[in-house]
Amino acid sequence: MRPPSEGRVVARLQAPEVEVVLFDTPPPRRLAIYAAEPVPVRLEAAGVATEQMLGGYWLGRVEGEATRVEGTLHVGEASVALTLDLSIPSRA
């Protein structure tokens, strides 16, 4: 599991309660999703490949130089549409 302090926050949601962190280095870029609860987490999106799944944690590789990711986030029983802007420095 990668520590979130090594990346930059690109999204925070309250329902479901998650934080999405982008790791630019080392290549390839990766997204990590940290949930408040130890439930299954997964992001389904074009250009993103799952690398690791743990309770309350998901890690995926971002293909190419995408600046935007659109998909469906699954956290436990909840599913929500998610759009991420990877070009922004940080989002509170």
Query: Any idea where the domains of the chain sit in the sequence?
Result: 4-85
Distance (Å) of CA 16 to CA 10, 47, 52, 63, 80: 15, 23, 20, 25, 8
What's the CA angle centered on 20, arms 82 and 71, to 5 degrees? Answer: 25
pLDDT at 92 over 80: no
Q: 25-43, pLDDT tens digit by residue?
A: 888 999 999 999 999 999 9
Q: CATH class for domain 4-85? A: mainly beta
pLDDT mean over 72-90: 91
Return the closest-CA partner of residue 30 out of 66, 54, 76, 56: 66
Give me the pLDDT at residue 25, please: 82
Give me the pLDDT at residue 88, please: 72
